[in-house]
Amino acid sequence: MVMSLTKLEDLLASKGFVAKSYYTLDDYCIYIEVLNVTNASIFMLYITARYGLKVTNRPNIFDLRYMEITNEDNIASNYGDEPDNVDMEKFYNNFDIELNTNSSHDEDLEKRLKENYEIQLYLKDLNKDDVKNLKDIFRQLNRFMFCVKNIKYKFSIMYKNYLCSITKDDELDAFLILNFPKKDERRIYIYLDLKSLYEKNLTFTEDIVIVRQGLQRLLDQNQVKHTKILNEMIEQKVELQGISDSVIEKKIQLDNGCKEYEILLADIIKSEQVILDKMEMVRSKYSDYSLKGLHNDIEKAHQIAQLQNELAKITSVKNEIINNIIIIKAKHENMTLKMDKILFDNSIMINEINNNFKKLKELT
């Protein structure tokens, strides 16, 4: 089934979305980064290769290369056993959201595209720091699987020029993004497939917000849980607790700043609509004249020009607000993901140390 990119972009525009970037595998577009201009949220649209979607003559087209990543040599194997899935579920299965869980898996060409790719990238081809961080992200996504195993929305984490995702079949994928700017931070994306976008009466815009808030709430809860575990193991509690409290306070400040910008965005969108309505009224007013003389044409053009100038100013302000919201959310997500990773790893290491102390006592 071959589909038109223009038709897809028109569909996105009709829902208030703008395609920001396109990610292709073997010339087939499989991910589109989409911006919701009504609330400055960003999500990934996943497109199976069966649609045969080709992308040309667009800015921000990035080619993907499939990567092989395993969880060997991770922090748990170095410092102790990986906790049982039952233990992990205590942290990551409390994903309190309610969504429509009906889903179906279409056959697609992506698996074959990956298997048939001539040159596959392996971890040995990457630098040491990137290898460590990618393994960390894979372990993080492994834990996040408990959150989304029963819903149609999945998570991706972008780090530098790498994209790692939980697939619709609850597996993990990793891609190198060619010619992509390397930014040393982690971003989380909620993604849905193209079929879900086309489903009737689908409230995926609200769903994406709910899923993101649910994950954020879960990570915040886990930050408190992990901090408590570490504090129970460490006698010197003040510094760790102080750091955790500072991070929580910083995230609260970011949340408050984001809310203020979101209020401004809602107001500016209303103002934008007022101008658009005025422009429509002007066009309607002058279309009623039976004799369209030069004077009327000049007057109409003058009024339209004035309104267009006002609209341009409003659009400029709106874009600035959206950019600020995106920056704040990026800082918040980067901080939350790093905090989750650091505290989780430390919990494993200190737990092993604690077990070793118990073994020492048994020798006395």
The pLDDT of residue 19: 94
Distance CA 253, CA 245 (A): 12
Distance CA 124, CA 134 (A): 12
Cβ-Cβ contacts under 8 Å for 13 (sequence gap 6 or more): none
* pLDDT at position 104 over 70: no
* pLDDT at position 109 over 50: no
* pLDDT at position 356 over 70: yes
Query: Facing residues of 24 across strands?
Result: 29, 63
The pLDDT of residue 63: 94
Q: Return the closest-CA partner of residue 31 out of 221, 189, 246.
A: 189
Name the percent of the chain lying above pLDDT 70.
79
Query: Strands 17-25 and 61-68: what pairing?
Result: parallel
Averaged over 301-317, what is the pLDDT?
90
What is the full DSSP assignment across 81-106?
PPPPHHHHHHHHS-------------
Q: Return the closest-CA partner of residue 325 out of 86, 72, 66, 37.
A: 37
Averaged over 45-58, what is the pLDDT?
87
* pLDDT at position 27 over 50: yes
pTM of the model: 0.73
Distance CA 67, CA 310 (A): 49
Give the residue with greater pLDDT, 313 vs 204: 313
CB atoms < 10 A from the CB of 298, how many? 10
333 pLDDT band, cuts 50/70/90, is very high
Lowest mean pLDDT among 68-72, 86-90, 191-195: 86-90
Name the percent of the chain lying above pLDDT 90.
32
110 pLDDT band, cuts 50/70/90, is very low
The pLDDT of residue 273: 92
Give the residue with greater pLDDT, 83 vs 298: 298
C-alpha R_g of the chain: 25
